[in-house]
Structure 1
Amino acid sequence: MKIHPLITKTEELADLCARLAKSDFVAVDTEFMRENTYWPELCLVQIANTEEAAAVDPLAPDLDLKPLWDLLTDNEDVLKVFHAGGQDVEIVFNFTGRTPHPIFDTQIAMMAISQSEQIGYSNLVESWQGLTIDKGARFTDWSRRPLTDRQIEYAIGDVTHLSKIFPKMLKRLIKTGRGEWLDQEMEKLADPEHYRNDPAQAWKRIKAPGRNPQVLGRLKAISEWREMEAQGKNIPRGRIARDETIADIASHPPKTQGDLAKVRGLSQGWKDNDIGRRLMNVLAKAEALPDDEMPARAPRGAPLGKEGTLVADLLKLLLKIRAREIDAASRLLARSDELELLAAGVRKNLSLLEGWRYEVFGRDALDLVEGKLAFAVENGKLKMTHVDDAAKAAAAEKAETALEQIGDEQADEEQVGED
């Protein structure tokens, strides 16, 4: 594979992207810094196909990234391959307002062909290539220039390994017939709405303190204000105030600015500084959350209770058994909250009762809840047994035993006659 020198010129990047646009797929990775900023600072982009690989320097003064963004977001003929690509996709979205598509994530794909829930990149490489990655450059400050040859080599390795692993993984998926399992997961990863940062919706990321419309209205107002403050200063939102502090203020709003000094998580300076005054103005204008914005209640069946909790535990055990049997990650088959809803009597809007998940796991989960499935131990291992099948087998065994007994009795009678 040809490894290019660090790309710092637009013409070099355009030529590279023109060649890569003829590939079936490209492997992509990014290096970024976000510890001290609101927006992640893109410091390096690595990209490769099966024939060539390069690192692109977004901080180079003479580089326009448009050819790269066009390849990643506009070219539907080239599959974009990432590993744990959520943050990489977010960066592309922040620059372009679009996401890479079509997309493939090897971390998610591993869930369909192994019991790995969130396999790390180094473990992926070791598993598929038998190689141990040198982690010496892991904690590089990628924003510092110049980058050393070792740093660039380390970064490019992320996509050269990926470009070799992906075709093997694809063959495994085709062989197992589980490619369709991943379609929905990949589309979710590429959904632009997942990365759209609307300050007015920031409150939904915070654990809501109850369902009081007044409290939620204040939570929404304060959360939106915090996002705007953090964006304006380009600092992490937690540097303004932590989530738990925001929730505390929404639940117990201070009456005066001086009271801000008593809020856990805020410094004494808030009682008389400008940011404290801005916060008090926001609180004064906050309105109750309207009915159409109130968070939906989680769907519930009958209260679980002790018996229901036991059923949910049995479903989780069933999930572990099935995941082990088919060698797939249990989280891909079903979520814990869905199992609890199923145990509580919910039968609608559960992904485990739809499509391939129903065929692979949901049907048995439903049978267990409805008393049609039982656990058995065979050779020291837990197995699932359908109650109907077991009853039929027992009846057949009894019938066979009866026939044998009749045959023995007839043989004895014949022997007596001969004597």
Structure 2
Amino acid sequence: MKIHPLITTTDALAELCERLSMAQFVCVDTEFMRENTYWPELCLIQIADNQEAAAIDPLAKGIDLSPLLDLLVDNEDVLKVFHAGGQDVEIIYNLTGKTPHPIFDTQIAMMAVSQSEQIGYSNLVEAWLGLTIDKGARFTDWSRRPLTERQIEYAIGDVTHLSKIFPKLLARLIKTGRGEWLDIEMEKLADPANYRNDPTTAWQRIKAAGRNPAMLGRLKAMAAWREYEAQDKNIPRGRIARDETLADLACHPPRQQADLAKVRGLSAAWKDNEIGKRLMATLDGAKPLTDAELPPRTPRGAPLGKEGALVADLLKLLLKIRSREIDVAARLLARSEDLELLAAGVRQLPLLEGWRFDQFGKDALDLVEGKLAFAVVNGKLKMTHIDDAPAPAAASAVAEAVIADEPVAEPAEVTE
């Protein structure tokens, strides 16, 4: 593979992107800094197909990234491959208002061919290529110039390795017939709504107890205020105020600005400074949420209770068993909260639709409806449909034989 020198001019970038526009796929990665800023500061972009690779310096004087951004967001003929690409996609969205499409994420894809929930890049490379990555440059200051050869070599490696892994992983997906499982997941990753930063909806990301309209109205107003303050100062929102502080203020609003000195998580100086004054004005102007604005109630069936909680635990056990049997990440099949809802009687759930129903949901539904049972035979955990289970007397014999560790006829296993 040809490795280009660091690209620092628009002409060199345009020539590279013209060639890459003919590729079937490009692997993309970014290096950025966001510890001290509201907006992530893009410091380096790496891109490769199966023939060539390059690192692009977005901080180079006079460089125009338009050729690259056009390739990533407007060229529908080239597949864009990332690993754990959420933050990379966010940066591209911030620059263009669009997301790369079509898109493929190797971390998500690994969930369909293994039990790995969130495999890291170094582990991915070791698993597929047998290589160990030097992580020494990982936490360097990517905004400092000039970049060292070690930094550039490390950064380009992220896409050159990925360009070799992607075809292998794709072949595995095709062989297992699980590629279509990922279509919805990849579309979710590319959905611009995931990256749209609307201060008026920022409150929805904050955990707050209850659905009191006045309390949530104060939370909505303060969350939006915090976003504007952080954007104006270009600092992380948490440096203005943490989520739990806003939630506490929403539940117990101060009567006057001097009371801010008593609020845990706020500086005592807020009792008489300008930012404290702006916060109090925000609270004073907050309006209760309307019925239409209130968050929807979480769908619930009957309260779980002790027995329902046990059923949820059995569903989680079933999920572990099925995940191991078909070698797929449990999280791709079902979420724990959905299992609890299923145990409570809810039936409108993702695990009861499409391929998830075929692979796991049908057995999960049978379990809660009393059509599936667990048995331990010769020290091994088995799943048995009730219609296939032995008669009560035989079941007792099975239990006794298990205790005595004697061989017995095994019940039929659930087939996929």
Normalised TM-score (structure 2): 0.93
Deviation at 1:209, TM superposition (A): 3.0
Aligned to 2:371: 372
For the 8 Å contact 1:26–1:49, the answer to whether it is kept is: yes
Aligned to 1:99: 99
Deviation at 1:385, TM superposition (A): 1.4
1:159-213 Cα distance to aligned partner (Å, 9 max, x none): 0000000000000000000001100000000000010000000000100232111
The answer as to 2:307 corresponding to 1:271 is no
Aligned to 2:219: 219
Alignment of 1:191-270 (within 5 A): 191-270=191-270
SS of residue matched to 2:292: helix
Normalised TM-score (structure 1): 0.92
Q: Gapped runs of 5+ residues in structure 1?
A: 396-419
Separation (CA, whole Å) in 1 of partners of 2:323 and 2:377: 18
Separation (CA, whole Å) in 2 of partners of 1:191 and 1:381: 44
Identical pairs, percent = 79
Aligned to 2:108: 108
Structure with greater proportional helix content: 1
Separation (CA, whole Å) in 2 of partners of 1:376 and 1:47: 52
SS of residue matched to 1:101: coil
Deviation at 1:379, TM superposition (A): 4.5
The answer as to 2:283 corresponding to 1:283 is yes
Aligned to 2:402: none
Separation (CA, whole Å) in 2 of partners of 1:363 and 1:379: 26
Separation (CA, whole Å) in 1 of partners of 2:301 and 2:30: 45
Separation (CA, whole Å) in 2 of partners of 1:67 and 1:20: 11
Separation (CA, whole Å) in 1 of partners of 2:52 and 2:184: 30
Deviation at 1:380, TM superposition (A): 2.8
Aligned to 2:387: 388
Deviation at 1:68, TM superposition (A): 0.6
SS of residue matched to 1:291: coil
SS of residue matched to 1:332: helix
For the 8 Å contact 1:215–1:251, the answer to whether it is kept is: yes
The answer as to 2:59 corresponding to 1:87 is no
Aligned to 1:176: 176
Separation (CA, whole Å) in 2 of partners of 1:391 and 1:21: 63
Moved over 6 A (4+): none
Instruction: Tell me which moved more, 380-389 or 352-361.
Output: 380-389
Deviation at 1:387, TM superposition (A): 1.4
Q: Which amino acid aligns with 1:157?
A: G
Q: Which amino acid aligns with 1:79?
A: L
Aligned to 1:36: 36
Q: Which amino acid aligns with 1:305?
A: G
Q: Which amino acid aligns with 1:383?
A: K
Separation (CA, whole Å) in 1 of partners of 2:377 and 2:23: 50
Aligned to 2:63: 63
Q: Which amino acid aligns with 2:298?
A: A
Alignment of 1:392-403 (within 5 A): none
Q: Which amino acid aligns with 2:208?
A: A
Separation (CA, whole Å) in 2 of partners of 1:28 and 1:386: 47
Q: Which amino acid aligns with 1:27?
A: C
Deviation at 1:268, TM superposition (A): 1.4
For the 8 Å contact 1:321–1:383, the answer to whether it is kept is: no
Deviation at 1:390, TM superposition (A): 2.8
Aligned to 1:417: none
Separation (CA, whole Å) in 1 of partners of 2:89 and 2:232: 23
The answer as to 2:110 corresponding to 1:119 is no
Aligned to 1:342: 342
Aligned to 1:7: 7
Q: Which is greater in Rg? A: 1
Separation (CA, whole Å) in 2 of partners of 1:168 and 1:246: 47
